[in-house]
A = this chain, B = another copy of it.
Amino acid sequence: MLIKDDFFEKYSDFYRGKKILITGGLGFLGSNLAIALVKLGAEVTIQDALLELYGGNTFNIEPIKDKVELHISDIRDEASVNWLVKGKDLIFHIAAQTSHVDSMTDPFSDLDMNCRGSLILLEACRRFNPAAGIVYCGTRGQYGRLEHIPVSEDHRMNPTDIYGVNKMAAEMYHFIYHRVHNIRSVSLRVNNTYGPRHQMKHGKYGILNWFIRLAMDNGTIKVFGEGSQMRDYNYVDDVTRAFIMSAACDEAWGKAFNLGSGKPVAFIDMVRIILSSAGSGKMEQVPWPKDRADIEVGDYIADFNLIEKVCGWKPEVMFDQGLKETVEFYNKHREIYFNA
CB distance from A161 to the nearest CB of B (A): 6
Is A220 part of the contact surface with B, judged by Cβ < 8 Å? no
B156 touches A165 (CB 8 A): no
CB distance from A151 to the nearest CB of B (A): 14
20 A-B pairs (CB sep. < 8 Å)? A107-B122, A107-B123, A107-B173, A108-B123, A111-B116, A115-B115, A119-B162, A156-B156, A158-B172, A160-B176, A160-B179, A161-B176, A161-B180, A162-B173, A165-B172, A166-B169, A168-B169, A169-B169, A179-B294, A180-B295
Please give the residue numbers on chain A whose beta carbons come within 8 Å of chain B beta carbons, in ascending order.
Answer: 104, 107-108, 111, 115-116, 119, 122-123, 156, 158-162, 165-166, 168-169, 172-173, 176, 179-180, 294-295
Residues on the B chain within 8 Å of A173, using CB: 107, 162, 165
C-alpha gap A107/B161 in the complex (Å):
23
C-alpha gap A107/B123 in the complex (Å):
9
A180 touches B104 (CB 8 A): yes
Q: How many copies does the complex hold?
A: 2
Residues on the B chain within 8 Å of A123, using CB: 107-108
Q: Which 8 A-B pairs have the closest CB atoms?
A: A169-B169, A180-B294, A165-B172, A107-B119, A165-B169, A111-B115, A111-B116, A108-B119
Residues on the B chain within 8 Å of A180, using CB: 104, 161, 294-295
Residues on the B chain within 8 Å of A179, using CB: 160, 294
A172 touches B156 (CB 8 A): no
C-alpha gap A294/B175 in the complex (Å):
12
C-alpha gap A115/B104 in the complex (Å):
15
Residues on the B chain within 8 Å of A165, using CB: 169, 172-173, 176
Q: A111 touches which one: B119, B159, B294, B295 (CB < 8 A)? A: B119
**Seed contacts A111-B115, A115-B115, A160-B176; 12 additional CB < 8 Å A-B pairs:** A104-B180, A108-B116, A108-B119, A160-B179, A165-B172, A165-B173, A166-B169, A168-B169, A169-B169, A179-B294, A180-B294, A180-B295
C-alpha gap A176/B176 in the complex (Å):
25
C-alpha gap A169/B166 in the complex (Å):
7
C-alpha gap A169/B107 in the complex (Å):
12
**Residue on B nearest A119 in the bound complex, by CB:** B107
Residues on the B chain within 8 Å of A115, using CB: 111, 115, 169
Residues on the B chain within 8 Å of A156, using CB: 156
**Residue on B nearest A166 in the bound complex, by CB:** B169
Residues on the B chain within 8 Å of A166, using CB: 169
C-alpha gap A156/B158 in the complex (Å):
10
Residues on the B chain within 8 Å of A176, using CB: 159-162, 165
Residues on the B chain within 8 Å of A161, using CB: 176, 180
CB distance from A254 to the nearest CB of B (A): 13
